[in-house]
Amino acid sequence: MGAYLLRRLLLVVPTLFGIILINFAVVQFAPGGPVEQMLAELRGQGQTLGRITGEGGGEIRTAPPPPGEGARGAGAGGGPVGTYRGARGLDPAIVAEIERAFGFDKPAHVRFLEMLGGYLRFDLGRSLFRDRPVTELILEKMPVSVSLGLWSTLIIYLVSIPLGIRKAVRDGSRFDVATSGIVLIGYAIPAFLFAILLVVLFAGGTFLQWFPLRGLTTPGSEAWPFWQRALDYAWHMALPTLSLVIGGFAGLTMLTKNSFLDEISKQYVVTARAKGASERRVLYGHVFRNAMLLIIAGFPSAFIGILFTGALLIEIVFSLDGLGLLGFESAIRRDYPVMFGTLYVFTLLGLLMQIVGDFTYTLVDPRIDFEARR
């Protein structure tokens, strides 16, 4: 197992490099980059004197263009300033200064290599528009997303696995039919629609106001006793977590049921019953280990999926400032350091979680030996 894990860890490097390279190349062709957005903002402000904070934290003073200056000058690629639609009517020196502050005065391959060099030192750069280190932004938003992802995934597994086993054991019964209707509703309606419904019903939308609608804690709760802070945290997390659970438990429930039904029909189960093993022994001593391989080993990847993708709309609905909202806003504003910094962190965690998933297979069933595979 050690050699296999070492090979997987070594494969993380080229995989991570390839993902970042492809995304970096695609972004170069995307319109509306940070320079264009800044130029558009300057034109929208009437080209008045102002200040722009660049990637290095320095300030750029901008002023109206001198008379006779139109769209002449050098753009990002060395061509005319007319390359940027928003640059028309601006002083070329201002455009060049913005490019220099954002790092776009360098060729794309140089910027890519500098970015990789920073990532090797875990230096994710500095936000173009927030003027803060990307690492600091990620650490600030992480508690919200980790809270949503961790508690939602745990509750989904705690609900789905017993429910799926029960449905498999009582396949075709009234219980199975009734719960299948609930599962179907949870599968058909997106999580964010449940979130909106919960807000309307219980968070001051139209009916009741039992739960808060913003943040993880109440302002000023830092001075409260621990038990009171824990209750306040659970109070804030109740509706967002419930939204993700309702929207995510259906698939895992059906996967658990189908896995158990598939194993129950196999010959070794018939043999165990013929030897006089009790139904509980057959179910949890033989079937459980084989049926739960895919489900339990998929926990790390399921957590990553909810953590970084499934909670975006939930964060928006409940006004939670987490990683999903940070990534969305960065993509809209073309804040490339934040975009690629979060991509680097998410991809690295995802690849490592896949290795953890493989290791979990061996914990669930020690008979699995990845070294024996060819």
- The torsion angles phi and psi of 78, rounded to 5 degrees, stand at 90, -5
The CATH number that domain 134-372 falls under is: 1.10.3720.10
Please give the pLDDT value at position 341: 87
Please give the pLDDT value at position 146: 81
Q: 14: phi > 0 → left, psi -120 to 50 → alpha, else beta; which?
A: alpha
**pTM of the model as a whole:** 0.70
Q: For 235-273, how does the pLDDT look when each residue is reduced to its tens digit (9 = 90+)?
A: 888 888 888 888 778 888 888 888 888 888 788 888 888
Low-confidence ranges of the chain (pLDDT < 70): 1, 41-91, 205-206, 294, 297-298, 300-301, 303, 305-311, 364-374
The domain segmentation of the chain, as residue ranges, is: 35-120, 134-372
Please give the pLDDT value at position 309: 58
* Amino acid present at 136: E
Please give the pLDDT value at position 205: 63
* Residue 256 structure tokens: 């658990």
Please give the pLDDT value at position 308: 61
Please give the pLDDT value at position 1: 65
State the average pLDDT for the chain. 76
Please give the pLDDT value at position 364: 66
Distance CA 199, CA 72 (A): 53
Please give the pLDDT value at position 372: 57
- The torsion angles phi and psi of 253, rounded to 5 degrees, stand at -60, -45
Please give the pLDDT value at position 368: 65
